[in-house]
Copies of this chain bind each other. A is one copy, B any other.
């Protein structure tokens, strides 16, 4: 039932630039050509005015319909299992998350306050000059290009969070499917197309390109009709897309989320009080999903002491017994092995490897232990190794632990295990980590990212290319919008959200006061 083609404005489109297949070979896929990039961008631009004019309720229904289509389709889980080697229960959970994301954004659109309405009414009698009536709200930024991620074939791919937030904002979406799961991508795309048809959306609201080629990705980012980009993946690819966006004649925002090492600080009191539980939970977090999460904790840091040594000992024992697991692709497996090899060659690092003798592409978890001096000296020790690998760093003192923290690059998350006494004594650590990470966690682990208003899944470079933005949680919608102010507009020409009567009953800042009232 798969066309193996790019889908533009609801239709499969032929291209003659070669073909590719993915794991499981569920179909042969045609490589999108440069001509298709032109075509798809034109279609999205043409749909933009019609789509942004769709009333909020109808736009929310569209998102709900996508959710229902995905929920009714178990084939997508089968496809994803074959293409990514991720276990079916994990994929069923991921589908639940994907559906939930779509429904959360439908709720955000229905509620409506996300457009940040601000109204300052005219003051005709003000001296020396009258104050005009000014009203401001967010409007959709334009067609958005989304790049599917390999490690979340559902939740961060074709119908994933980026697509949900861009469609919610009122932007047509062009997805560049990840070539590691093209069949899963086509199934998800068809769900979106079916929902668009069922709810009467303009056909160009959604399209998807199938491609393995970096030049096609770059052409999409640099197409004049594309106004913003969402990406989740490697530092190299994410930076290349960012650079392509910044080098345009008219630069656009490129939101690349590129993962990080997600340091976990284990403070002395916590190590003494519950070191064994921390070691067990750390092993679980490092090996969860064969370590293929951008929030995977690749670094554990503590101050040398008997209790911390015991944590290391217990973690070492658990990692040695950990299961090997299949990775998403042969390429990711090879990168993981290369990363482990690179670390194992650094002088001053000792390695423990899960002992189960396994064959590629099954990855055996790895743990490295070293001293702060080595960490501070060798940049490669703080680079992410995508997969079930982690480095434990022993510091000689609290000050050295602070030095290690200050030495960190930007992170999605940073975690502290500490008793109330630890947190008091190490208050400076929180202050340092606020400057390093987008999300700080106390006495937990970074894997597991909630879909809610307060979630911030972002962080300073190289975690992302834009620390002001999040790719998870309701605030993700703001990435795809920009403000417009309307000065001295008659009621009839204003967007509904800014009219006196407040027909949508949204929160608005009126003359400096937040209110849902109209007048």
Residues of A within 8 A of B (CB): 49, 53, 113, 118-120, 129, 131-132, 134-136, 139, 141-142, 242-243, 246-247, 250-251, 253, 409-410, 420, 423-424, 427, 430-431, 434-435, 437-444, 448, 450, 452-456, 458, 460-462, 465-468, 470, 475, 481-490, 492-493, 507, 509, 512, 514
Nearest Cβ on chain B to A380's Cβ, whole angstroms: 16
Q: With the chains together, A492 CA to B442 CA distance in Å?
A: 12
Q: With the chains together, A202 CA to B219 CA distance in Å?
A: 48
Residue in contact with A468 in the complex, picked from B49, B253, B424, B448, CB distance below 8 Å: B253
Residues of B within 8 A of A119 (CB): 454
Residue of B nearest to A128 (CB): B93
Residue of B nearest to A484 (CB): B434
Q: With the chains together, A504 CA to B296 CA distance in Å?
A: 35
Residue of B nearest to A138 (CB): B468
Q: With the chains together, A53 CA to B427 CA distance in Å?
A: 13
Tell which of A448, A460, A483 has the most Cβ of chain B within 10 Å. Answer: A483
B250 touches A444 (CB 8 A): no
Residue in contact with A250 in the complex, picked from B142, B253, B424, B461, CB distance below 8 Å: B461
Further pairs besides A139-B434, A440-B487, A441-B487: 17, Cβ < 8 Å: A118-B453, A120-B454, A134-B455, A242-B246, A250-B409, A250-B462, A253-B466, A253-B468, A423-B493, A424-B492, A430-B493, A438-B483, A440-B486, A442-B489, A444-B487, A453-B509, A470-B483
20 A-B pairs in the complex with CB atoms less than 8 angstroms apart: A113-B514, A118-B453, A131-B452, A132-B444, A135-B454, A136-B456, A136-B475, A141-B468, A242-B246, A251-B465, A423-B490, A424-B492, A438-B482, A440-B486, A442-B488, A444-B488, A453-B509, A453-B512, A460-B482, A468-B481
Q: With the chains together, A438 CA to B486 CA distance in Å?
A: 9
Nearest Cβ on chain B to A489's Cβ, whole angstroms: 5
A423 touches B492 (CB 8 A): yes
Nearest Cβ on chain B to A156's Cβ, whole angstroms: 18
Residues of B within 8 A of A492 (CB): 420, 423-424
Q: With the chains together, A242 CA to B246 CA distance in Å?
A: 9
B485 touches A439 (CB 8 A): yes
Q: With the chains together, A509 CA to B483 CA distance in Å?
A: 21
Nearest Cβ on chain B to A516's Cβ, whole angstroms: 9
Q: With the chains together, A438 CA to B434 CA distance in Å?
A: 33
Given contacts A118-B453, A444-B488, A488-B444, are A483 and B462 in contact (CB under 8 A)?
Answer: no
Residue in contact with A458 in the complex, picked from B129, B439, B483, CB distance below 8 Å: B483
Residue of B nearest to A242 (CB): B251
Residues of B within 8 A of A434 (CB): 139, 484
Nearest Cβ on chain B to A110's Cβ, whole angstroms: 12
Residue of B nearest to A239 (CB): B251
Nearest Cβ on chain B to A96's Cβ, whole angstroms: 9
Residue in contact with A493 in the complex, picked from B129, B135, B142, B427, CB distance below 8 Å: B427
Q: With the chains together, A119 CA to B452 CA distance in Å?
A: 9
A467 touches B141 (CB 8 A): yes
Residue of B nearest to A456 (CB): B485
Q: With the chains together, A113 CA to B514 CA distance in Å?
A: 10
Given contacts A438-B485, A468-B482, are A120 and B452 in contact (CB under 8 A)?
Answer: yes
A442 touches B507 (CB 8 A): no
Residues of B within 8 A of A493 (CB): 423, 427, 430, 442
Nearest Cβ on chain B to A466's Cβ, whole angstroms: 8
Q: With the chains together, A324 CA to B512 CA distance in Å?
A: 41
Q: With the chains together, A208 CA to B14 CA distance in Å?
A: 59
